Amino acid sequence: MKQLLRAEYVALFLLSIYLFSTVHYPWWWYPALFLLPDIGMVGYLINSRIGAWTYNATHFLGLAALLIAAGIFLDTPILFVFGTVVLGHIALDRALGYGLKYEDSFKHTHMGNL
């Protein structure tokens, strides 16, 4: 089952690259923005409960979907770009086994223990 989930996330990662290619932004924006969702890890400087909340807020697939949809419906390409990059980041994280965090430990995720 884990292999199937990881393959699904690889497909989402590739989809994010394709979606990014549909807008006319320089290619280097994708890797330049790629680590932006990891800003959510700063919550771990306070404690693991807040860290899990901030990390999960920036690694929620719904956030990527909301940004992509807002970019399309508001005709705001930069939101679409952010959404595709967030989608790619989350998908690659999950393909590598990094999931949403539980409050007890950074290494305890919904994908299993790291």
7: containing domain: 2-113
pLDDT at 2: 81
Which segments in the chain show pLDDT lower than 70? none
The whole-number pLDDT of residue 30 equals: 98
Q: Which residue, among 74, 72, 63, has the nearest Cα to 19 in the 3D structure?
A: 72
Residue with tokens 């994908």: 111
Q: Do residues 109 and 75 touch, judged by C-beta distance below 8 A?
A: no
At 57 the pLDDT is 97
Q: Total structural domains in the chain? A: 1
- In whole angstroms, give the CA distance from residue 5 to residue 73: 30
Query: Chain centroid to CA 4: how far?
Result: 19
The residues, ordered by sequence, that sit 6+ positions from 7 with a Cβ below 8 Å of its Cβ are none
Say what the pLDDT of residue 92 is: 97
Record the pTM.
0.92
